[in-house]
Structure 1
Amino acid sequence: MKRIIGTGLCLLVLFGYPMTVQSQTLPVVQRFVLNVDYSRFWQNDSTMYIEISTAVYPNLILLQQDSLGFHGKVELNISIQNKSTGAMVYANRYNVPIHLADSASLVRTGSIVNNTIYALGSGEYHVSVIGSDVLDRTRKDSSSFTVTVQNKPDSLALSDIELCSNIIESSDQKDVFYKNTYRVIPNPSCVFGSTSFPLVYSYMEFYNLNTNLMYKITAQIVDAKGNVKKQRAHLRRFSLPNVVDVTTLNCISISSGRYTYEVILSDTLGQVKARSRRPIYLHNPNVKAASAETIVTARAEFEGMTSDELAEEFRKAKYIAQSDDNNTFEKLSTAQAQKEFLEKFWTRIETEENGKSNLSRSSYLGRVSISNQRYKSMSRAGWRTDQGRIYILYGEPDEIQRFPNSGDSKPYEIWYYHQLEGGVQFIYVDLTGFNEYTLVHSTKRGEVQDATWQQLLR
């Protein structure tokens, strides 16, 4: 295994603290945030390096202040488990120390970035990254994801795209961020724009190139409708079959939102040979959307909401959120960025064809409130129960049949929605006897289906 841990700085909106001489712990009013990202690169034909980058924010960490400055610490736990065998391949724990000389340093310092590198053979792996504030371990954040490692193909192949805050040429191989003649500083938040990083740097590796051909390399930022918002292309002939590519795009003229960053390798006739893509989030508050269709009007209801309240609202919206939405929101560390995200999120929900009629922010949150009143259990809030979820997604059932205890049979309910997919039903059983009804069968596509559900009544 090759393991590298490094530290760097980047700019983020921060808050200063008054200087005092006495030792004290400074209060933090916002939630602890850990940004996590990863990229995969082939080491050889059968092994890949997975680079896991993390970012923590000094202004979101409890700091002790004394005559020498500000001091704090974040503990990171990274585990990698083979999904097929269940074997724990790596389980590492290490501390990220934070030492800042004065309040000016606290304001200037954005995120502290760390990079760890692990060698993995082919297979599927579950990765868990947990960060906690050492001075208060109840303040923590985490990320988990599945990583697929494949043998390197014999044909043309591309690595993942590593989004970075800065890339410069370097010969200092002792630098923790040194990689293939470059100093590569990853941006685990994947957030770029006028308030943070106006330039998007990308690092990639190309494998099995034909040294006799001329290639066209295109890097572009694409919106949800497939429109190219920014593009940069150049022709290049490579002298080696395996090479590094570094590209820079200025993103400050693009309106805020979630986009796709894409790198395409094609021949001179325009035939695509390989491509790699990944999500990216842009935050340019001074740029208005280009057309009336994409203008997002600021919602007055978000004003005055704290970061924790905004996060709680998005948690309740998980039933209609996409995986990219979840990944993007986890990377947002300021209330303003969360507000802008939620404005775009709810506008998309309200304007897109989503199969759920008349679904708006107010109606959705109204259903959440009703679910909390009707369907709460001893262990869970109503919106988190099965009946709460179905009610939130589809509204009032057209018909409900209730079957109480009868002999040896557990109580159960059948909900009917006659206008949904030509008529569907949801069957819930009180499996525990504590009035918490579990969804055991449904005729709705994508829901749990169990033709033998009646056996659960015994």
Structure 2
Amino acid sequence: MSRPMHSVGVLLTMLLPVAFTVLGQNAQTPPQNLHFVADFSQFRYSDSLMYVEFSASVDRERLVYAADGGRFKGEFLVTAELLQQDSVISRKIWRNVNMVDSLAEIVPGQKLYCINSFVVPPQPSRIRLTIQDPQHPEGAGVVEWPFQPRLFSGDSLQLSDIQMAGSIERDTTTSVYTKNGFRIGPNPTALYGIGLPILYSYLEIYNLAPATSAAGENYRVEYKVCSTDGALVKSYGVKERHKPGTSAVEVNGANVVTLVSGAYLLRVEVTDLETNTVARAEHKFFVYREGDYAEGGERFKKREEVMGAGSAGLDAGRYDTMSEKEINAEFEYARYIAIKEERDTYKKLNLEGKRKYIKEFWSKRDQTPNTPENEYKRDYLERVQFANQSLRGTFRDGWRTDRGRVILIYGRADEIERFPFNNQNRSYEIWHYYQVQGGVVFIFVDKREMGDYELVHSTARGELYDEEWTRWINPNSDTSSSTTY
């Protein structure tokens, strides 16, 4: 796959929350150093050149924000150098600027990202990244990688490196974050958990053999999670895909939120069904869930199935006497948090199997397994009850409505703006979540004025996004003057 050289950019996302105290509006205390995490991935550029893409994440709260025209400006300067022996072969320098209206916008877990690339020959090289805050230049951070470029040539089946991502979506525009029709939000930390439960990955396949049979028109791919010593933890199943040509792009999203905190390997295996040859690639990643740590810092046993370590709740005994209809109803309430494999397994069970499985289901989600109570289950089912009492639609239970789904997945909103019906506008609500993905909104409109509020727009990843959402409030309005969301 040939590639144009990309420009550079900066991206803000929210990863995992950590303890943080918002500083005063007039000044910040300079950090001791500018900590950042970086990663790189190698792809084919041509038969004799490699395309090395690297990204870095900077802790937003570690930048010094200075007053700038009524706002606050934080910036960091990036110097990327390609070295061979002691010589600098190529150097790129760019500045990334981030503006905020208030220092209170800087909240725990926010990361600022930068991304760039080199085209390199097949010779041992090093990449050195230096990132510094111009407001605090003595606190610069430096990361250097020695690496052996891979030569993607010949006829054998080959895979690129796996690029870890916080999000992947289709995008045909050209930007620093797009490759082969996909917009990739980098995650150089390779850290996932409750705040970022889906491990997105990008991979390229080279030298697929031309088909001489119907079977040879396809290739097979399997995504696995393994422990760092190679033991299989979880398989996401085998998928068969049609060959688009001699090269292909693989993007995937794997739910890893059920994994216990620790280090893992994402392993991808591709089989060319024309030749039955197999190629593999792997990348290390990390899972962190605060509930896996007891008081005093002790981490619970690292394995995916935590049956016995977690609790099904103080009321777990009731499942032993519940009817199949009652158990089915409770599992259906959990449809928004159950992964496909769990739903498929549950459907195949008899009553006794379902009674046991629902206990295991809640036990795996117990975030405080050192206590007999399962606070996660308790809070979730309380939200179900609240949704059914307060968010009921005309013909649907509250938990099935759009507002019910959102409250079950994301919890109670931090702030709700309610706008009643008037002569110009339909009734609508704006829900604010300040600690989700760096701050997101959900907008619901009562389109039929029957009390059924429907989601028309959200800034959360994977949710309905509509820049012209105001048309649902007033169909006769000019949407060109629309919205700040």
TM-score, normalised with respect to structure 2? 0.55
1:99 aligns with 2:111: no
Alignment correspondent of 2:157:
156
1:168 aligns with 2:182: no
Cα–Cα, structure 1 residues 268 and 49, in superposed 2: closer, same or farther, change >3 Å? closer
> Following the alignment from structure 2 to structure 1, what is the Cα–Cα distance between the partners of residues 114 and 181?
19
1:392-446 per-position Cα deviation (integer Å, ceiling 9, x unaligned): xxxxxxxxxxxxxxxxxxxxxxxxxxxxxxxxxxxxxxxxxxxxxxxxxxxxxxx
Shift of 1:68: 2.5
Report the 3-state secondary structure (helix = DSSP H, G, I; strand = E; otherwise coil) of the residue aligned with 2:79: strand
Query: In 1, are the aligned partners of 2:233 and 2:303 still within 8 Å (CA)?
Result: no
User: Within 5 A, what are the aligned runs for 1:25-424?
Assistant: 25-28=27-30, 31-65=33-67, 68-83=70-85, 86-107=86-107, 110-154=110-154, 155-173=156-174, 175-195=175-195, 197-212=196-211, 213=216, 214-232=218-236, 233-267=238-272, 273-287=278-292, 288-289=300-301
Query: In 2, are the aligned partners of 1:211 and 1:237 still within 8 Å (CA)?
Result: no
TM-score, normalised with respect to structure 1? 0.58
The letter for the 1-side match of 2:90 is Y
> Following the alignment from structure 1 to structure 2, what is the Cα–Cα distance between the partners of residues 121 and 27?
44
The letter for the 1-side match of 2:265 is T
Report the 3-state secondary structure (helix = DSSP H, G, I; strand = E; otherwise coil) of the residue aligned with 2:106: helix
1:109-139 per-position Cα deviation (integer Å, ceiling 9, x unaligned): 7111111011111111111111112111221
Cα–Cα, structure 1 residues 125 and 291, in superposed 2: closer, same or farther, change >3 Å? closer
The letter for the 1-side match of 2:74 is G
1:17-47 per-position Cα deviation (integer Å, ceiling 9, x unaligned): 3554xxx431155752111100011111111
Alignment correspondent of 2:14:
11
The letter for the 2-side match of 1:178 is T
1:42-88 per-position Cα deviation (integer Å, ceiling 9, x unaligned): 111111110010111220112224662321221211111123xx442
The letter for the 2-side match of 1:119 is V
Cα–Cα, structure 1 residues 17 and 201, in superposed 2: closer, same or farther, change >3 Å? same
> Following the alignment from structure 2 to structure 1, what is the Cα–Cα distance between the partners of residues 67 and 109?
16
Query: In 2, are the aligned partners of 1:58 and 1:98 still within 8 Å (CA)?
Result: no
> Following the alignment from structure 1 to structure 2, what is the Cα–Cα distance between the partners of residues 74 and 131?
6
Question: How many pairs were matched up?
Answer: 289
1:2 aligns with 2:5: yes
Cα–Cα, structure 1 residues 291 and 157, in superposed 2: closer, same or farther, change >3 Å? closer
> Following the alignment from structure 2 to structure 1, what is the Cα–Cα distance between the partners of residues 230 and 181?
34
Query: In 1, are the aligned partners of 2:193 and 2:287 still within 8 Å (CA)?
Result: yes
Pairwise CA RMSD: 2.9
Shift of 1:104: 4.4
Cα–Cα, structure 1 residues 17 and 69, in superposed 2: closer, same or farther, change >3 Å? farther
1:167-217 per-position Cα deviation (integer Å, ceiling 9, x unaligned): 0001212x321111110111111111113x211000011011024223221
Query: In 2, are the aligned partners of 1:28 and 1:59 still within 8 Å (CA)?
Result: no
Shift of 1:3: 4.3
Cα–Cα, structure 1 residues 3 and 88, in superposed 2: closer, same or farther, change >3 Å? farther
Cα–Cα, structure 1 residues 51 and 82, in superposed 2: closer, same or farther, change >3 Å? same
1:213-255 per-position Cα deviation (integer Å, ceiling 9, x unaligned): 2322111211134222232231112031111110111111111
The letter for the 2-side match of 1:55 is S
